[in-house]
Amino acid sequence: MIELDREGSVWVLRMRAGENRFNLEWLDSVNAALDRVEASESPRALVTVGEGKFYSNGMDLEWLAGVPERAGDYLRAIYAVLGRVLGFPAITVAAVNGHAFGAGALLACAHDFAVMRSDRGFWCMPEADLRLPLTAEYMSLLTAKLPGRTLHEAVLTGRRYGGEDALAAGIATEVADYLDVLPRAIELAAGLSGKDTPTLTEHKRLLYGAALSALSGS
């Protein structure tokens, strides 16, 4: 489901559960991986990547339909992971190898940088077409990370952004051919892995304090 290995100073978290939809077991596995990275010594950085044509398709609504009584716990667990990545005490890079939809798109946004596949795969917030209003917590993350015009278009239209469009819109930091997405993300992360942890953490707090508070429920 979740695999974690290290290449020099870069930890690579590989999401290997098909569409990588979020359920509580999946979120627990991600948290365990983040615990390992956070406990490691510097220099360090984190890259996340899916496999095949999916980075992550977001919330597992089919799983949730079977346990509706856990909806509150489920949303809080998603917010906690997104907030943890947003404020993570190391540089983070999303290697967006394929589709990133809904909460999966939010996960990509929560990273410091995103390298997106140039030829196939979309970043999309589809809630406007699914009749599923975004929560204030989700919106806080999007507001913190996206340019205003991109935020407006993404949440009101549900537009699907390919790699080049995502780059132009300020969603992706870079684009690369499919085989180069992960290597480039690792290269980018490695070059920034020596940043001072306390300084980096404080700067993320200053940049994203409102979103971090909303996602943590504080």
pLDDT of residue 80: 97
From CA 166, how far away is CA 148, in angstroms rounded?
14
pLDDT tens for 46-103 read: 999 999 999 999 998 888 889 888 889 999 999 999 999 999 999 999 999 999 999 9
User: Confidence band (pLDDT; 50, 70, 90) for 122?
Assistant: very high
Order of strands, edge to edge, in the sheet holding 113-117? 2-7, 10-15, 45-49, 91-96, 113-117, 174-176
Return the half-sphere exposure (C-beta side, CA atoms, 13 A cut-off) of residue 184.
20
pLDDT of residue 61: 86
CB 33 within 8 A of CB 60: no
Hey, where are the domains in the chain? 2-216
Residue carrying structure tokens 């196939």: 120
User: Confidence band (pLDDT; 50, 70, 90) for 7?
Assistant: very high
Cα dihedral 19/21/27/31 (nearest 10): 40
Distances (CA, A) of 126 to 38, 86, 152, 155: 32, 21, 13, 8
pLDDT of residue 64: 86
Q: What is the CATH number of domain 2-216?
A: 3.90.226.10
CB 172 within 8 A of CB 114: yes
pLDDT of residue 70: 87
pLDDT tens for 160-213 read: 999 999 999 999 999 999 999 999 999 999 999 999 999 999 999 999 999 999
